Amino acid sequence: MTFDLTPEQDQLRDAVRALGRRYGHGYFVEKAKADEHTTELWAEAGRLGYLGVNIPTEYGGGGGGITELAIVCEELAAAGCPLLLLVVSPAIAATVINRHGTEDQRKRHLPGLADGSQKIVFAITEPEAGSNFHRLGTVARRDADGWLLSGRKCYISGVDEADHVLVVARTEEAGTGKLKPALFLVPTDAAGLTRSKLDMEILSPENQFLLYLDDVRLPADALVGESLDAGLPALFAGLNPERITVAAMGAGTGRYAIERASEYTAARKVWGGRSIGSHQGVSHPLAHAAVQVELARLMIQKAATLYDAGRDLEAGVAGNMAKYAAGEAAALAVDTAVQVLGGAGMTTEYGVATLLGAVRAGRIAPVSREMILNFVAQHVLGQEKSY
Ligand SMILES: Cc1cc2nc3c(=O)[nH]c(=O)nc-3n(C[C@H](O)[C@H](O)[C@H](O)COP(=O)(O)OP(=O)(O)OC[C@H]3O[C@@H](n4cnc5c(N)ncnc54)[C@H](O)[C@@H]3O)c2cc1C
């Protein structure tokens, strides 16, 4: 057992940290408030190869795994730039296309995902189905010319920045009427695809959208994979990378908040010569949050290691636990940071309250804490399925 990163991973961590710090939380907030995107940071991260660390070298990537991508997500977040689209585009979309796409789809999309010139977002959530993806209502119908997609999706991140949406639909099998999931690469400018931006209480340069698909016509090769049988495995292929990288983003955000808060409490003096951090009522909550973040980081490392070793089932358990732990730890860390900064905690300048919405959302999305507890109860504790 080793808890050390390889020298290459260490270098990656240092380099991404340096890039993130060059932009910093001020840049992230400024972009969010101006209703702009972190275009410059994304482009630079792409040029430096950080967005494609998990993509095979033959398609222009770094040839690493989810461990490397988790490092990128964590370090950018630890610098105050938690980029949700890292979870969607390189983690989910690139993994799904690499593992289950056709060779033509790999050639068409992976190089652009690797250098950041392409973004592919992911649409599974629907207003009616919610957490229960078995109730998906978006339907794909096959005809002589290809596919027709109809349905609605909600809370879809980054549609305004992406050139494609990876849409999860269900297909009606001729004859049996049986329904099974399938994934489609839908260009964001496809006729029949419209969107409306949701007003979210999250300070973020990345936006969420309602998507309407009204008989969106797609060519036959928009279906991910060689046949409809690729649908279910392709969908599951995206879940572990999603959970692990979103957990890494949470852990990074937690580290960022604790670092800001610790600097402040070590320097701030309101009772004579002693810092407020010398009072255990201030330092203990921070120390407690630091323990929770560090525990989450361990589980992230375990989940990523298992995933990269091809042990998908074990990675599923560890990835869900890591996502749960990091989601809770990030929310605790940011809330604690706000508290120990006092009034400064609520200002934009000190850059911690700016993350409250994002970490709160991290306990709901991309999978809620309750659905993870359902998973653990059923698959780890052997309890009867509760829903
Ligand atoms: C910021 C943000 C970004 C997002 N980005 C994307 C994206 O890019 N693509 C995408 O497809 N989706 C995205 N989502 C959607 C997200 O994945 C869903 O919000 C999430 O899966 C929960 O679904 P829901 O909102 O429909 O909640 P519901 O399913 O309606 O659940 C509501 C509440 O009930 C609980 N609950 C439901 N069922 C059970 C049960 N059986 N047992 C116990 N508790 C239960 C849930 O945990 C939750 O607390 C995003 C959401 C947010 C907030």
pLDDT tens, residue by residue, 27-79? 999 999 999 999 999 999 999 999 999 999 999 999 999 999 999 999 999 99
Closest residue by CA, ligand 1 atom 38: 131
Tell me the average pLDDT of the chain. 96
Q: Give me ligand 1 centre to Cα 200, in Å.
A: 14
**Residue 86 near residue 73 (C-beta atoms within 8 A):** yes
Distance CA 27, CA 94 (A): 27
Condensed to tens digits (0 to 9), the pLDDT of residues 117-153 reads: 999 999 999 999 999 988 899 999 999 999 999 999 9
With the most atoms of ligand 1 within 8 angstroms of its CB, the residue from 121, 154, 155 to mutate is: 155
With the most atoms of ligand 1 within 8 angstroms of its CB, the residue from 85, 131, 204, 356 to mutate is: 131
Question: Does ligand 1 lie within 6 Å of residue 366's CB atom?
Answer: yes
* pLDDT computed for residue 42 by the predictor: 98
H runs (alpha helix) in the chain: 7-33, 39-47, 66-78, 84-86, 94-100, 103-115, 231-267, 280-308, 312-340, 356-361, 369-379
Predicted TM-score (pTM) of the model is: 0.97
CA 198, 115, 235, 70 dihedral sign is: negative
Q: Give me ligand 1 centre to Cα 365, in Å.
A: 6
Relative to the CA of 371, which ligand 1 atom is closest? 47
Condensed to tens digits (0 to 9), the pLDDT of residues 168-208 reads: 999 865 455 555 899 999 999 999 999 999 999 999 999 99
Q: Give me ligand 1 centre to Cα 373, in Å.
A: 14
Relative to the CA of 130, which ligand 1 atom is closest? 26
Condensed to tens digits (0 to 9), the pLDDT of residues 354-376 reads: 999 999 999 999 999 999 999 99
Question: Does ligand 1 lie within 6 Å of residue 361's CB atom?
Answer: yes
Closest residue by CA, ligand 1 atom 37: 131
Distance CA 138, CA 140 (A): 7
Condensed to tens digits (0 to 9), the pLDDT of residues 333-345 reads: 999 999 999 999 9
Distance CA 51, CA 73 (A): 9
Distance CA 259, CA 275 (A): 16
Question: Does ligand 1 lie within 6 Å of residue 122's CB atom?
Answer: yes
With the most atoms of ligand 1 within 8 angstroms of its CB, the residue from 157, 242, 243, 364 to mutate is: 364
Q: Give me ligand 1 centre to Cα 146, in Å.
A: 31
The band of 154, judged by pLDDT with boundaries at 50, 70 and 90, is very high
**Residue 23 near residue 38 (C-beta atoms within 8 A):** yes
Distance CA 165, CA 184 (A): 8
Closest residue by CA, ligand 1 atom 52: 365
Relative to the CA of 387, which ligand 1 atom is closest? 41
Percent of the chain with pLDDT over 90: 92
Q: Pairing state of beta strands 139-143 and 164-172?
A: parallel
With the most atoms of ligand 1 within 8 angstroms of its CB, the residue from 320, 368, 385 to mutate is: 368
Closest residue by CA, ligand 1 atom 17: 366
* pLDDT computed for residue 1 by the predictor: 82
* pLDDT computed for residue 175 by the predictor: 53
CA 9, 118, 32, 243 dihedral sign is: negative
* pLDDT computed for residue 165 by the predictor: 98
Question: Does ligand 1 lie within 6 Å of residue 359's CB atom?
Answer: no
Closest residue by CA, ligand 1 atom 12: 125
Question: Does ligand 1 lie within 6 Å of residue 118's CB atom?
Answer: no
Distance CA 194, CA 214 (A): 8
